[in-house]
Structures are given as structure tokens and as C-alpha cells.
Amino acid sequence: MLWAMTRPLPRRMPLAELHCHLGGAVTPAIMWGIAHEQGIKLPTKDYWQFREMITASARRGHSFDKYLHLFHWTELIQSSPLAVERSVYEVIGGAYRKNNVTTMELRFNPMKRNRGGEQDLDHIIAASLRGMDRAMLEYPIKPGLIFCLDRDFPFGLNEIIVEKAIAWRDRGIVGIDIAGPESANFRPSDYRNLFARARKFGLGITVHCGEAGPVEEIAPVLEELEPDRIGHGVKAAYDARTMAMLRERGVVLEICPTSNLQTEVVSGWEEFRWIFEQFRQNGVRYAISTDGPEMLRTYIRDELATLGRLGILSYEEQVQAVETSLQASFVRQVSDVLAAVLEPARRVEVEREEA
């Protein structure tokens, strides 16, 4: 073998997750509980069938559309203030417990959580922030929420999502994203002013592109929307000019290897070896993320460990990817996490019990 297997990163090294969808990040058992708590009629009464329904598996086969379809049930189950609060709380706490993720950016589309407008959007948003606050009280973490616009939504709806992100930015909304399937209705130029406005208010900008779509879709997004980061962007490896644009603008790619394999956007680990070699040669910066750890049954440490085990990234490159993710995080002051906040008060100070 030409490449050497590398040792995994130490567990004590804190990680940052930049690209994680709420709809793909809640443990199936918790989703099952939330669904029952709310009396949602599920198509099966068998937990294992349900688990199969909301997670990627070889049996179902791989494709981009099949992957997006998995979100149908998870988004429906998460569509209430209580469900959103619990989901956000569980994902952020779980990422810390399982992977020592101390900087957690979690993204979702609030309009896909309010049952088509039946429920008030601000209640959904406030609930997500409550979930985040609860997790922060329990663990020494720095989380932030990103609102996803949808390529398939009319401009007017996406505009409302951006305005909500701006309105709630001081409470922990740190950025905006565009997700969803490719759509003929979507033109980056239509969003130029809206994204400039979001940027003016200090929101970070990331956009899904160069994933299932062609490499040609990346350059217009960089020019019109001026993102700080790109969701996936693996297709950039196939075009030197696009890689030069990414490098010159300092844009960081959020690479989610298992997700790209699951959706067949990338054909296998050997293609990833080639993709990372292009990024290495062209000075393209990247972070490693999961996209949806529970849906894809992978965690961020698994992603890094696999890239190391296969000799695709060296140990130093894995450390660099972690550092890049911290540098590129939209969460403010990610380096000053206060672990001491969780120390109990001295007994003398809580002697008198109050109501």
C-alpha cells in the first residue's frame, strides 16, 4: 500500500460540527417517543420498521431523492414547539456526550416544522432556542442554529425565513443556508440583496451546492451570494477555476463523506481520495461533517477515523480539518467555552431553601 494508516484523533480533542440537519440528527428511539407523545399516526406500530423508515440503509438503495424522502417523517414528527425543543436539546447534548462535539451548528427549516402554517413560526423558533438553552445549561458547549431556506420555496417564503433569522439573531440564530432539491425556479441572482442584508446583520452564510448538482452551479453562488461556506461542494474538485475561486475567497467546504456515498453523489472512497488530493493541490479549505448522524448512522469521529484509516487524510490533515471547522464556525467566541460554569454552588450559599 502506498498510504499509511493513521491513528484516530484523541477522544479528548473537542470537535466542531458545522453541517448537521435536525431532521437527520435525532436518535430513532427519541423520534419514536416524540411521535407517540404527540399522538402522530405512524404507518407502522413496529419500532424496528419505523427505524428502517427514517434511516438510510443498503436495503432501500442509494440515491439523492431517496435520501431526501427520509426527511418526510422526521420533519412531520418534529412539527410542533414541544417536538422541536426536545429534538434540538437531544441532538446538541447527544453530540457532546457521544463525540465531544463542543461547537455544534444545527440547521433546519422552521417552515417545515409548522405544519404548513398551522402553527406560529415564532413559537417554533423560540422552542428551538429553548432546547438549545437547556443543552447549554447541562454541557460545556457552544451551539448555534442555522435556518435553511429551500430551493423549491417561492422567494416570499424564503424571505420570511431570512427575516426571522435576523430578528432572532441575538438569541442564537447564527446563519442561513439554502437546501432542498435542485429546482428550475431557483436563481442565485434573485437572492443577492436578501443575502447581503443577512450578512449586514452578522449572519453567517452557507449554501448547499456542488453536491447532486453540477460543478457549474458553484461559481454563480459564490458570485451572487458570497457565502462563507459551501455545503458539500465536492464537485468543485472537477474544475480548477472553481477551486481557485474558493481559495481566493477563503470559502470553506463542509464535506460530509458518508452522506455523499449514500446519495451516490460520490461513487466510493477511491473517488474521495482523488477529490481530497485535488483540494490539497489547489489549497481548498474544508471541514468534515456528518449531514445527519442518526439518519446516516455515522458520527463525526467515524467520518474522520475512516478518512484516516483509508489513508485519505493524514493525522495532521484531520487536525487541520478540525481547526478549520472551528475557524469557520458561525458561533461567536467558540474558543472560550466555560466548563467552570457547571460547577455546583458551595453548600453554604444554598443553605436556605426557597420556594
Question: In whole angstroms, how close is the CB of 190 to Zn ion at the nearest point?
Answer: 21
Output phi, psi for 9, to 5 deg.
Answer: -65, 145
- Cell readout for 218 is 458553484
Q: Which is nearer to Zn ion, 291 or 303 (CB)?
A: 291
Q: Which is nearer to Zn ion, 209 or 243 (CB)?
A: 209
Q: Which is nearer to Zn ion, 90 or 291 (CB)?
A: 291
Do 226 and 204 meet the contact criterion of CB atoms below 8 Å apart? no
* 166: Cα within 13 Å, side-chain hemisphere: 14
Q: Give the C-alpha separation, 4 to 309, whole Å.
A: 8
Question: In whole angstroms, how close is the CB of 305 to Zn ion at the nearest point?
Answer: 21
- Cell readout for 222 is 459564490
Q: Which is nearer to Zn ion, 35 or 275 (CB)?
A: 275
Residues that bind Zn ion (CB under 5 A): 291
Tell me which residue of 186, 260, 175 sits closest to 221, measured CA to CA.
186
Q: 24: burial class by Cβ within 10 Å (0-12, 13-18, 19+)? A: buried
| Helix, strand, coil share (%) of the chain residues, nearest 5 | 50, 15, 35
Q: Give the C-alpha separation, 211 to 273, whole Å.
A: 17
Q: Which is nearer to Zn ion, 224 or 291 (CB)?
A: 291
Q: Which is nearer to Zn ion, 105 or 224 (CB)?
A: 105
Question: In whole angstroms, how close is the CB of 88 to Zn ion at the nearest point?
Answer: 17
Question: In whole angstroms, how close is the CB of 112 to Zn ion at the nearest point?
Answer: 14
Residue nearest to Zn ion (CB): 291
